[in-house]
Amino acid sequence: MFALSIKKSKRKTLSIYIERDGSVSVLAPDSKTDDEIAQVLKDKEYQIYKHLAEWHILNTAKVEREVVNGQSYLYLGRNYRLELVDEQSKPLLLKNGYFLLRKQDKTQANRLFIEFYKEKGLPKIMERVQRFKTKMDVEVGQVRIMELQNRWASCSDKGNLNFHWKCFMASLDILDYLVVHELAHLIHQNHTRAFWNEVDKVLPNYQKQVEWLKVNGAALDL
């Protein structure tokens, strides 16, 4: 049996998602009873297990990084080698094509990389939100970079957008897709044909980004 979480809200339809950790999330209308949700899951059981099998295959791409000289770390779709240094002004710097990490801060490497992605990623994502919200004629609230557990991004009813710090390991065209995807949810809450039509209006080749994330998403980690 798969790990399952169910969240009810004022939405109109029920949606089922395979999360990045292989768990299954159900977003259901408040009006749906537990028995009705259980019946939908039973009816969709074959498709759920099919997608879970695909998830297990794709997650063979996951990378376990050691904090050693020469290790590669992603930033905006490009690999940068790590170099451990004795002294520098900050614990972690991206300089001259290398990630430079102070040796004394080696045990804090993951925290420092997360802080780096959050700091450098916010202006990158804000630039894209500003550009695409105008094209899509939507209003946006607060934009944050944070730990989102199993999702690349999310949006709230108030128009607040959240993006996982791991997004900034991917290239700019992937960021564009993630931004447009969330902005489209401000128009359509569900992944209906109308929703994907909104995405397609702005990014006609969005299927390439979707497929890239499916195949390579597991590698976007520390």
- pLDDT tens, position by position, 122-179: 999 999 999 999 999 999 999 999 998 778 998 888 889 999 999 999 999 999 999 9
The residue extents of the domains of the chain are 4-61, 72-219
Check whether 70 has a pLDDT greater than 90. Answer: yes
Length of the chain: 222
Q: To which CATH superfamily is domain 72-219 assigned? A: Metalloproteases ("zincins"), catalytic domain (3.30.2010.10)
Segment 186-194 shows an average pLDDT of 89
* Local structure of 30: helix, strand or coil: coil
Interval 80-120: pLDDT, tens: 999 999 999 999 999 999 999 999 999 999 999 999 999 99
The DSSP secondary structure of 160-220, one letter per residue, reads -EEEEGGGGGS-HHHHHHHHHHHHHHTT-SS--HHHHHHHHHH-TTHHHHHHHHHHHGGGS
- Write down the pLDDT at residue 82: 97
pLDDT tops 80 at residue 200: yes
Check whether 57 has a pLDDT greater than 60. Answer: no
pTM (predicted TM-score)? 0.75
E strand segments, the chain:
4-9, 15-18, 24-29, 72-75, 78-85, 92-95, 98-102, 143-146, 153-155, 161-164
Amino acid 173: pLDDT: 95
What are the pLDDT digits (tens) for 16-50?
877 767 788 888 888 989 888 888 888 888 788 77
Beta bridge partners of 5: 25
| DSSP designation for 136 | H
- Give the per-residue pLDDT at 192: 87
**What's the pLDDT at 15?**
83
CB 2 within 8 A of CB 17: no
